[in-house]
Amino acid sequence: MNKLKININDYPIFYPQPLPVRQTGLEGGCNPVKTGNICSFHSPKVPFRVPIFRYRGESGTNTVFHKKTFLLLIVSAFVFAAKAQPTIQGFSTGNPLLPGYFADPTIKKFGDWYYIYATADGVKLASGEPSVWVSRDLKNWSNYELDLQVPEGLTNCWAPDVVQGKDGRYYYFMGNCQFGCNIYGYVSDSPMGPFKPINEGKPVIPVGTAKEHLPALDAQFLVDDDGSVYSWFGTWCTSFKGMGFVKLNPENLSEIINSRFIPIAEIPLAFEAAYPLKYNGKYYLMYSAGDCRLSSYAVHYSVADKPEGPYTPGKNNPVLATNTDGTIDGPGHHSILQEGDKFYMVYHRHDNPHSTGGEFRQVCIDEMKFDAEGNILKVEAGHAGVQPLKTKNQPKNLALGAKAEASSFYHLVSRKTVYSQADYNYSYLPANAVDDNNGTLWRAASGALPQNLTLDLGKSTKIRRVATEFEYPSYYYQYKIEVSKDNKNWVVYSDKTNNRTSGCPMIDDNEMTGRYLRLTITGTQNAGMLAAVWNIRVYDKRIDLPPFANRESNVGPGTASTGSLLADFNAEKINDSAIPNTGTLGGHFEVVGELKTKTVEGIKAFELDGSNYLKLSVPAPASLDWNSAFTASVWVFNPEVAEGECLLAWNSRENMLQSSYAALMYGTAKFGAVAHGDWAVDLPYSPLPEKGKWHHIAVTFDGLLENVYVDGELNNQQPIYLFVKAADILIGASGEPNENLTGFISRAQLFDKALSPGEIKSLMQQSKPDKK
């Protein structure tokens, strides 16, 4: 047996927990407390060669290293990690409070239950399904979809708040900007819904209330001691120079009695996310400043003697802000929970590592304190969170810290973005699913299914409940759970391979005995969703669950990739009849406008004059929907480079929101390389391909990382998650006339798989047009 030993004091990284060595294919580990800072690695099965991580990005694919070079690899990885974007890993952390991507949390306590209403983040500019989280102890939470009768055409519910009216019913308010930035209201006999519209479905607080054109978003409500009801609202407050305030009729909560515009001088730097709090007879108007997508986001407050003000800026601002290492990044848009004489701030922060777009946020909780003069002290934000308020009868999680292995895991290696402090170098390890940490995730290496996660519980034990928290609580996953005593012979514990119900956690009850447990993910609601789990917990006891259930979905499941070349246009094949598609989709390319060909520098090409383009007679397949992998490749000659001209598009622009669109471009703008419907996630060239030359331009996407190549070399890249809808395949056009190409294309190809860097080089050579 070959063994390597490393003294971690010799290297700049200190790991406070065992290193995840077993995910490399080795056995052994590194625990400074138990081993005196000596780490041992060995491979009993492979005497002199050990398999290392599968890298994604510039590093290539599977690599096998000799024993001597393994030591160098480990040391290099330590040094690189010291420069990479910081992340937090640890067992049983209290923050994030919830698994999944949620923002703008409003926490409430009705009866014995805690409720968190939040914006569903991580989807199309925070456009996920409205839902609510419920808990009895602030530790164990369950997520349920809300039955909400929103106006037809609305697809998001931003920054919700819920208040109990004098009639005892529950009033849900949310913002939306699709028909103007308005606040809509709903009512139910239960805090869980179903909710029906009030005010005949018309906005309760319309855009322009308190000041012309002021967006009515991020409304928070306060029921005062005398029963009066007030609301504060607004976003882009720095541009509008203030925030809105209204007093509402408590009899119906939809009639505005009076309003006031609170000037920015009273709430310096305010951008959005008002939160009112009454404490010792004073009115505290808390709010968020900065950009919610970036590290500048922070919580401030001002104080007044009356709800409408005037307000005086408070001391200690900002009271919540990004920490020095960036692991608590962009915290804000909060609410407050009071329990006795204690106050807790519930807020969102960015995920770790930080996702592109800044709208993959997670909910956290920390205690908030006042000094003797009533000033809010700076919140000591951390990863520990707060202790559960009730822990009675909570069974032990038998999977906590268990040995975990998986069919694959994703190792993200990417250049720095505006959302990160440094380059990305992060592994979504199997061990992340058994650390009871809502901020760490096991994620498979690709969207290929099935994928499995296997736990070794250490000894044979009774298994009566398995609780699984998948990456997206609002979308369903199809899966099965098996149990084994010897890791060889498996018995089905629960079969949900036909599941169409979302939820978090997904609960599977049975009664079996075994040492090993295997979760196999076989399908997802949307195409290209990677198999991913925040936490999987195993119990030998059951406790009562909230008495609610989600309805089955009639959407999906997502279509698997064919892994093929779908569309292939070759200018050499242009003749007087139809232009054939030699890709697997078949069909032919229809010319919209005039068919023109020209030989440019000896290469025959389709000439585009800004009014003509090609459209495949067969639409793009469902295997390119949502987050599916793809590669788009074009040989192009561009005489003059404009702001953004489209080379190849294959999905819909309808209701285009952040990351709901993808098109290969050629231009100088932020969306010059790849357009995604929002500058915050668009990708430019770096550097711009030179005009007046033939170039091979390609983009690949594997479900998490987007790479742009120019002439076979990596030009730019970013981590990203997509939510697209396959549509017509267009060459030289995007559907937006001002993005039509003026130039020449000799070859265009579209795959429903991600090609590796080596495959891109080969494709460039294979598809290179012949000179005449």
CA distance 619 to 728: 5
What are 672's two structure tokens?
Answer: 């010059």
Q: Please give the Cα distance from 180 to 182 (Å, whole number).
A: 6
φ/ψ of residue 655, rounded to 5: 50, 50
Give 757's DSSP letter.
H
Q: What is the mean pLDDT of residues 615-632?
A: 98
* pLDDT score recorded for residue 387: 82
DSSP labels, 546-571: -S--PPPP-S-PPPPP--SEEEEEEG
The answer, yes or no, to whether residue 460 has pLDDT greater than 50, is yes
What pLDDT, on a 0 to 100 scale, did the predictor assign at position 88? Answer: 61
Q: Does residue 410 contact residue 592 with C-beta atoms inside 8 Å? A: no
Q: What is the pLDDT of residue 64?
A: 32
Structure tokens at 564: 């093929």
Per-residue confidence at 54, pLDDT binned at 50, 70, 90? very low
What distance in Å separates the CA atoms of residue 120 and residue 132, rounded to the nearest whole number?
10
| Residue 16 pLDDT > 70 | no
What's the chain's average pLDDT? 88
Nearest of 232, 438, 220 to residue 349 by alpha carbon = 438
Q: Is residue 443 a contact partner of residue 704, using CB atoms and an 8 Å limit?
A: yes
Which residues are bridge partners to 698 per DSSP?
A: 633, 709
Return the number of other C-beta atoms located less than 10 Å from residue 291's C-beta.
Answer: 14
pLDDT at site 56: 30
Q: Which residues contact 690 (CB under 8 A, 6 or more apart)?
A: none
Q: What is the pLDDT of residues 348-362, one digit of tens each?
A: 999 999 999 999 999
Is the backbone peptide bond immediately before 687 cis, with ω within 30 degrees of 0?
yes
Q: Specify the amino acid at residue 18.
A: P
Q: What average pLDDT does range 174-200 have in this prediction?
A: 94
Q: Tell me what pLDDT residue 711 has.
A: 98
Asked if 399 contacts 536 with a C-beta cutoff of 8 angstroms, the reply is yes
Instruction: Read off the DSSP letter of residue 28.
Output: E
Task: Report pLDDT digits (tens) over 26-47.
Answer: 333 333 333 333 333 333 332 2
Kindly state the average pLDDT of the residues 586-591: 96
Count CA within 13 A, CB hemisphere, residue 161: 26
Of the listed ranges 51-65, 312-326, 468-482, the least confidently predicted one is 51-65
Confidence (pLDDT) at 23: 33
pLDDT at 15 over 80: no
pLDDT category of residue 12 using cuts at 50, 70 and 90: very low
17 has pLDDT over 70: no
Contact yes or no for 98/363 (Cβ under 8 A): yes
Mean of pLDDT values over 647-670: 94
**CB contact set of 50 (below 8 Å; sequence gap of 6+):** 24, 25, 26, 41, 43, 64, 65, 67, 70
Q: Averaged over 152-161, what is the pLDDT?
A: 83
**pLDDT for res 86:** 60
Look at 52-56, 91-95, 313-317, 628-632 and tell me which has the smallest mean pLDDT: 52-56
Residues 6+ apart with CB under 8 A from 45: none
Q: Which long-range contacts (CB under 8 A, 24 or more apart) does 282-290 make?
A: 282/374, 283/307, 283/311, 284/314, 284/376, 285/232, 285/243, 285/309, 285/311, 286/319, 286/334, 286/336, 286/376, 287/237, 287/243, 288/332, 288/333, 288/334, 289/318, 289/332, 290/330, 290/332
Residue 123 to residues 180, 236, 355, 356, 361: CA-CA distances in angstroms?
A: 21, 22, 12, 12, 11
- DSSP one-letter string for 74-110: HHHHHHHHHHSPP----SS---SSSSS-EEEEEEEEE
Q: Is the pLDDT of residue 753 over 80?
A: yes
Which has the closest alpha carbon to 722: 442, 585, 530, 560? 530
Residues 425 and 746: their CA atoms lie apart, in Å, by: 37
The string of pLDDT tens digits covering residues 218-264 is 999 999 999 999 999 999 999 999 999 999 999 999 999 999 999 99
Q: What is the pLDDT averaged over residues 323-331? A: 95
| Cα→Cα distances 513→399, 401, 452, 464, 517, Å | 14, 19, 20, 9, 10
Give residue for tokens 């510039």: 58
Q: Which residues contact 340 (CB under 8 A, 6 or more apart)?
A: none
* pLDDT winner (highest mean) among 56-60, 73-77, 109-113: 109-113
Give the dihedral of Cα atoms 520, 524, 527, 531; nearest 10 deg: -40
Closest to 724 measured CA to CA, from 621, 647, 646, 625: 625
Supply 67's token pair.
């024993």
Q: Which two tokens stand for residue 659?
A: 């990351």
Output b/e per residue, 388-404; b: 16+ Cβ within 10 A: ebeeeeeeebbbebbbb
Greater model confidence, 387 or 406:
406
Using the predicted structure, report yes or no on whether residue 72 has a pLDDT greater than 60.
no
In this predicted structure, what is the pLDDT of residue 125?
Answer: 84
Phi then psi for residue 58, to 5 deg, are -70, -20
Give the whole-angstrom CA distance, residue 639 versus residue 715: 20
| CA 137/CA 94 separation, integer angstroms | 12
The closest alpha carbon to 107, from 96, 117, 121, 94, belongs to 117
Let me know how many helices (H) and strands (E) the chain has, helices first: 4, 48
Which residues are 504's β-sheet partners?
143
483: phi then psi, degrees, rounded to nearest 5: -125, 145
> Is 50 exceeded by the pLDDT of residue 722?
yes
Question: Kindly report the CA angle at 73 between 67 and 76, in degrees rounded to 5?
Answer: 150
Mean pLDDT of 499-520: 98
